[in-house]
Amino acid sequence: MEKRNIIVIGASTGGFEAIKQLVAALPADLDAAIFIVWHMSPNMRGILPQVLNQQNTLLATNAIDKEPISANHIYVAAPDKHLVLEQGMVRTTRGSKENRFRPAVDPLFRSAAASYGSRVIGIVLSGALDDGTAGLWTIKSRGGIAIVQEPAEAAVPSMPASALAAVEVDYCVSIAEMAPLLVKLTAETVAEANEVAMDEQNKTSREVRFAAQDPTFEQRHPAFGQLTPYACPDCHGVLSAVTDGDIIRYRCHTGHAYSADSLLASITEKIEDTLWNAIRGVEESIFLLNNLGDHYAEKNQPKLAAMYFKKAQEAAVRADIVRQTVFSHEQLTTASISKQVAEDEAA
């Protein structure tokens, strides 16, 4: 009988300390391989393995493409590289961003579930928005174990809270409770993987191949799922809605993928950029209109000059209206909306 010996961990803001504390509490002889995605800037040095090795437990390294998987080892996603699992080896790729990140948590979780089924333990730690929720659902649907950090303990609770709300999580525990829990779970044998519908298998396989940059995979075909009126914030392709149980998310045919929360954050963020561009364009027209007004005034054409000055004043009024719209614009997330609902109820 096989054991649960594939542990995948996802974290973002606030997750650095959580990962460090968890690894420090693990025994050095843990009979499992651990894979970690922590959101980071693409220009950031991969310092997490160095920090984890100071805990003197399991050896941690930045994952190398196509290296074999070994027990008692921690593989950390390198900056600007997705970490994807295949049978017996890891892949590191520059596949399309998911949830605005590379590395992202969902590709790791999804690929682990596809390759190792019920042998997988998925863990969501501190972080903003909801990367990891869809991937944890895939792990759970294939018989794996779903664990989240207690949101009240997390520095940023959005990622574990999102997973709790959308997935039938097996354990919601503190970091202090997590290490002994993993020791217990990795010692258990597992049953056969859950039977998964063919459509669901094909969907997961295709998404894994997107992230893995499979050279045999032809990406230029219509996206699966229901087409939506939304444009991909990265490439402006049409997004299709994809469902995992009750979870809805979005993917374009080039491979970019968004949870509902990350799409909302991206769209509302870009609204502000668009409005500032509109203000810039209107103000440029004001400068030009006034310059032309001065020009015609010098040419002794007062009526034409006056019309240019008038149009400049009208444009200034419009610029002020757009500027006030920018100042009142909100960058929205599901967490910020839920907070407003709670505040309204408390009022």
Q: What angle do CA 28, 34, 39 make, to 5 degrees?
A: 125
Has 221 been annotated as catalytic?
no
Active-site residue (options: 106, 130, 131, 244): 131
Active-site residue (options: 39, 82, 253, 256): 39
Distance, CA of 329 to CA of 29 (rounded, Å): 53
DSSP designation for 78: P
Q: What is the pLDDT along the chain (347 residues), one digit of tens a residue?
A: 789 999 999 999 999 999 999 999 999 999 999 999 999 887 777 789 999 999 989 999 999 999 999 999 999 999 999 999 999 999 999 988 999 999 999 999 999 999 999 999 999 999 999 999 999 999 999 999 999 999 999 999 999 999 999 999 999 999 999 999 999 999 999 877 677 788 888 888 888 887 877 655 555 445 567 899 999 998 998 999 999 989 999 998 888 999 999 999 899 888 888 999 999 999 999 999 999 999 999 999 999 999 999 999 999 999 999 999 988 888 787 778 878 888 888 87
Which class does domain 6-186 fall in? alpha beta
Q: In sequence order, which residues have a C-beta less than 8 Å from that of residue 318 and are 6 or more positions away?
A: 282
Asked if residues 3 and 145 have their Cβ atoms less than 8 Å apart, the reply is no
Q: Specify the pTM.
A: 0.86
- Is the dihedral angle over the CA atoms 217, 196, 11, 49 positive or is it negative? negative
**pLDDT of res. 211:** 80
Query: Among the residues of 142-259, which ranges form H helices?
Result: 158-166, 175-186, 198-212
Distance, CA of 88 to CA of 133 (rounded, Å): 25
Lookup: tokens for 229: 């009126």
Active-site residue (options: 12, 96, 158, 240): 12
Has 39 been annotated as catalytic?
yes
